[in-house]
Amino acid sequence: MHEVIPTLRVAKLAASRDFYVRALGFRLDWENADERGERFAQLSREGLLLYLSERAEDGVGRGLVHLYVPSVDAWHAELFERGVDAPLPQDRPWGNREFRVVDPDGNQLCVCTPIHRRQR
């Protein structure tokens, strides 16, 4: 396996895309629509890829994605500056320092750095 790209089901791609780009600092790589007009997009940031999909066949309910980043504290500081309301990162007993944010559709993003790799 070379990479895994999670797909998050969203109600309105435009609103979700805006949250990920404006608030979380992702870049829109591409966006398209299927024959029914349902939108699908790829977003990226620092080597991380996410798909956002309005298509019903791409899942129902809410998702949880763990984003492993070099410095969870730097990510938190940046999101705070962008106005994102996120709890402070915490060291967890399973070995991560992490915090969670929730997108407009209720999908959770757990931003993590393994404690043994954390950069100061």
Is residue 31 included in any domain, yes or no?
A: yes
User: Would you give the distance in Å from CA 114 to the centre of its chain?
Assistant: 17
Which helix (H) or strand (E) is 15 found in, with range?
A: helix 13-18
Tokens for 55, please give them.
Answer: 């298509």
- Print pLDDT tens along the chain (120 aa): 457 789 999 999 999 999 999 999 999 999 998 888 889 999 999 999 999 999 887 877 788 898 999 999 999 999 999 999 999 999 998 889 999 999 999 899 999 999 875 555
Is residue 83 included in any domain, yes or no?
A: yes
pLDDT value of position 36:
87
Give the phi and the psi of residue 55 in degrees, each rounded to 5: -70, 125
Strand-pair partners of 51: 7, 42
pLDDT value of position 93:
86
pTM for the structure as a whole:
0.78
Query: Which CATH number does the domain housing residue 95 bear?
Result: 3.10.180.10
Is residue 2 included in any domain, yes or no?
A: no
Is residue 97 included in any domain, yes or no?
A: yes
**From CA 29, how far away is CA 49, in angstroms rounded?**
9
How many structural domains is the chain composed of? 1
Is residue 1 included in any domain, yes or no?
A: no
Is residue 90 included in any domain, yes or no?
A: yes
Instruction: Give the domain range for residue 68.
Output: 7-117
pLDDT value of position 2:
59
Nearest partner of 52 among 22, 25, 12, 102, judged by Cα: 12
CB-CB contact of 116 with 97 (8 Å): no
